[in-house]
Amino acid sequence: MPQGSYLGPLIFLILINYLTAGCLLHKYVDDTTLTEIIPKDGSSKMSTIVNDVITCSWSCKNLMNIN
């Protein structure tokens, strides 16, 4: 998709709309933030969630590199 085209943002939103994870997702323009609420006696599962998003078929299928 050429940079600056009118279809670029629309195509990106269509692709990113199908991203799912085991936590809260905040999607805005070209940024997606994963959020986790950890109870006082609990432990974080964020590293597992991020690994699932990176290694799952979603990022590979949509040819989107995750930084």
Confidence of residue 57 (pLDDT cuts 50, 70, 90): low
Residue keyed to tokens 């432990």: 43
Which residues are registered as beta bridge partners of 28? 31
For residue 3, give both structure tokens: 């940079």
SS (H, E, C) the chain: CCCCCCHHHHHHHHHHCCCCCCCEEEEECCEEEEECCCCCCCCCCHHHHHHHHHHCHHHHHCCCCCC
Residues 3-52 have pLDDT tens digits of: 778 887 777 777 777 676 777 777 776 677 888 888 899 888 888 887 77
